[in-house]
Structure 1
Amino acid sequence: MVTTTDAFTDYLQKEKKYSPHTVNAYLNDITNFQSFNKIHFDQDNIERVNYSQIRTWIVSLVDDGMSNVSVNRKISSLKAFYKFLLKTKQIEVNPLLKHKALKISKKLQIPFSEKEVAEVLIGMKNPSGFEEVRNKLIIDLFYTSGVRRAELIHLKAIDVDLSNNTIKVLGKRNKERILPILPIIKEQFSFYINERSSLECIKDEEFLFLTKKGLKLNDSFVYRLINSYFSAVSEKVKKSPHILRHTFATHLLNNGADLNSVKELLGHSSLASTQIYTHSSLSELKKVYEDAHPRNK
């Protein structure tokens, strides 16, 4: 017998085409709410809850110290679940119909400067051995393509087309995009592929980036790698793959790239997502404005 949860899982995987990681996150959030509802309201069937019950859960999450960002993500999972129930005519009213997301303070994402990136890459100028060659390519690929951490980790060897200087990236919701690679990166790919082929054992053959044991990289490995190299040149609080992606977009905009082009490179579905990077270009814009306006002579 197919349960509501099974049907919802099938819907997320096949119709929405969400990644396994996203599907698991949705299901965990729903299970957590189900457990809360059972304990506090002695009710197993969350298909029949009202907003007051959900609101009690939200308050408990906040009281437990959970950030508004995390709470909103959990509510997004519930919203998707109740929309599915509405769509499949299992409920008549969505209990979250009038819910408003918790307010989130916008934290300024400070990109690395061109000088900081240059210092890291100069320090890696002559890499030797598998790990050094791999690390340099990873940092350079983040900076010259703007790929997400998950996109880099899941990049497959067959996705690299050195004859056309492109890579094929599988982004959010399984959307593919083709990205150009610079000639200097093409050369690094060749070095890395050569070093990779010399590994004694390769277990995750299909994936491009591997550990020295031949295994696919994971999120924490890539985070530590970026943090380690940039901690040597930067005092910024956040030194992560996402900041390097942010840096890619900011430096392109600072050097004259148009917003639409950056949007396509980043794999954003709308310009609104890309516009968050424009604030970082205001300092550059201000400098051009002050240098060019006759009233500032």
Structure 2
Amino acid sequence: MSGVTFEQLLDQYFINRVVRPATELSYRKVVRTFQTFSKALPGKVDYSLVLEWRRYILVTRKREACTWNNKVAHMRALFNFGIRTRLLTQEENPFNKAVVRVGKKKKKTLSTAQIKAIYIVMEQYNERERLLAQSNVINVRANACYPAWFWLAVLDTLSYTGMRQNQLLHVRLCDVNLEERWIDVVSEGSKNHREFRIPITSVLYPRLKMVLERSFAAGAEPDEQLFNVNRFDLKRKVRSEYENGSTEMGIYPIRAFFRRISRECRFAVSPHRFRHTIATNLMKSPDRNIQAVKRLLGHSSLRSTLEYIDEDIDSLRDILEQELVR
């Protein structure tokens, strides 16, 4: 069946596999990227074409090696399925041996000064909105940081739990227990499909309580999404329902918020940087905190957690000073 199209191959792949909607979206996005580069049908893709695509991605588009390897993983799985089910005529997967070596980079974290700068910007937005509310003035100008109290709660949750973006989006109102002070992270949002429980700290508690109270006041049900900005912004709610057929919050409002805050702070801010930051800070004392970090991040193995051991430059300087003096 050398004439099979990518769309047909994808449809058969997802019929035979149960995957998350986000995973299916990811596969389709990678395939669209390839189709932008080449109009070749799957049955006509060979190793030389894959290498041309690799050069285009890494050299022309200047993408990171890990980005390319992610594309290879998706395409290799798709072609393995096609070859095994004889939808494709190739004897060998053209994406085999196409990965490139990825250098180990320093984890992207936020310094104390950077976190302080983020909160200063958001508190300014919060104060501005409070004054507008007191003046009975409706802020009609679209802003990714509106409402500020909601995004401050998002920031606090990321700062004090280390949640992934997808985990945050899957937290329901019923997953939060303020009395016993814990949040259930459900398997649907976890990368390794594990469900686990994380504590609510005293610093996180007030804003989390505010989101819960205002959500219930807005008519939310216990099994609905907790962090849903559409619930507090009618324009966003209408747009989301029109574009996605759902009033749930997806990844785009989060991306828009972090783009805006990054632009205003003049350094990169993202959900994963908060995750790396809390893990790296706790792992400065790995002998005491390694099991706690493993549990907090929901890792399956200690190997993943150990990657967060980072050199403490101040401690390293002290050691050098002592040794040089000696």
Alignment TM class, shorter chain as reference: 0.7 to 0.9
CA pair 131-80 structure 1, distance change in 2 beyond 3 A: same
Aligned match of 2:281: 251
Pairwise CA distance, 1:116: 4.1
Task: Check the 8 A contact 1:142/1:248 in 2, yes or no.
Answer: no
Task: Check the 8 A contact 1:223/1:241 in 2, yes or no.
Answer: no
Give the gaps of 5 or more residues in structure 2: 1-6, 134-145, 238-247
Partner residue of 2:160 out of 144, 150, 163: 144
1:219 maps onto 2:235 in alignment? no
CA pair 142-53 structure 1, distance change in 2 beyond 3 A: same
Matches within 5 A, 1:1-297: 4-12=9-17, 14=18, 17=19, 19-30=20-31, 32-33=33-34, 38-39=39-40, 44=41, 46-47=42-43, 49-62=45-58, 64-67=60-63, 68-85=65-82, 88=85, 92-97=91-96, 99-104=97-102, 106-118=104-116, 120=118, 124=123, 131-169=147-185, 170-199=189-218, 206-211=224-229, 212-213=232-233, 215=237, 216-226=248-258, 237-254=267-284, 257-279=288-310, 281-286=311-316, 289=319
Task: Check the 8 A contact 2:173/2:224 in 1, yes or no.
Answer: yes
CA pair 252-227 structure 1, distance change in 2 beyond 3 A: farther
Letter of the structure 1 residue corresponding to residue 23 of structure 2: T
Pairwise CA distance, 1:142: 0.6
Letter of the structure 2 residue corresponding to residue 238 of structure 1: A
Task: Check the 8 A contact 1:139/1:226 in 2, yes or no.
Answer: no
Letter of the structure 1 residue corresponding to residue 225 of structure 2: F
CA distance in 1, matches of 2:57, 2:73: 14
CA pair 228-290 structure 1, distance change in 2 beyond 3 A: farther
Q: Does the residue aligned with 2:204 lie in a helix, a strand or coil?
A: helix
Task: Check the 8 A contact 1:168/1:177 in 2, yes or no.
Answer: yes
CA pair 8-173 structure 1, distance change in 2 beyond 3 A: farther
Pairwise CA distance, 1:229: 5.5
Task: Check the 8 A contact 2:183/2:199 in 1, yes or no.
Answer: yes
CA distance in 2, matches of 1:63, 1:121: 38
CA pair 258-88 structure 1, distance change in 2 beyond 3 A: farther
Pairwise CA distance, 1:241: 1.8
Greater Cα offset, 170-179 or 47-56: 47-56
Letter of the structure 2 residue corresponding to residue 187 of structure 1: P
Letter of the structure 1 residue corresponding to residue 298 of structure 2: G
Q: Does the residue aligned with 2:196 lie in a helix, a strand or coil?
A: strand
Letter of the structure 2 residue corresponding to residue 251 of structure 1: N
Pairwise CA distance, 1:96: 3.0
Task: Check the 8 A contact 2:172/2:224 in 1, yes or no.
Answer: yes
Letter of the structure 1 residue corresponding to residue 109 of structure 2: P
Letter of the structure 2 residue corresponding to residue 94 of structure 1: N
How far does the alpha carbon of each residue in 1:143-175 deviate from its partner, in whole angstroms, 9 at most, with x for none? 110011222123211221223322122312543
CA distance in 2, matches of 1:86, 1:271: 36
If the length of structure 2 is used for normalisation, what is the TM-score? 0.69
Letter of the structure 2 residue corresponding to residue 131 of structure 1: P
Pairwise CA distance, 1:288: 6.4
Letter of the structure 2 residue corresponding to residue 246 of structure 1: H
Over the aligned positions, Cα root-mean-square deviation in angstroms equals 3.9
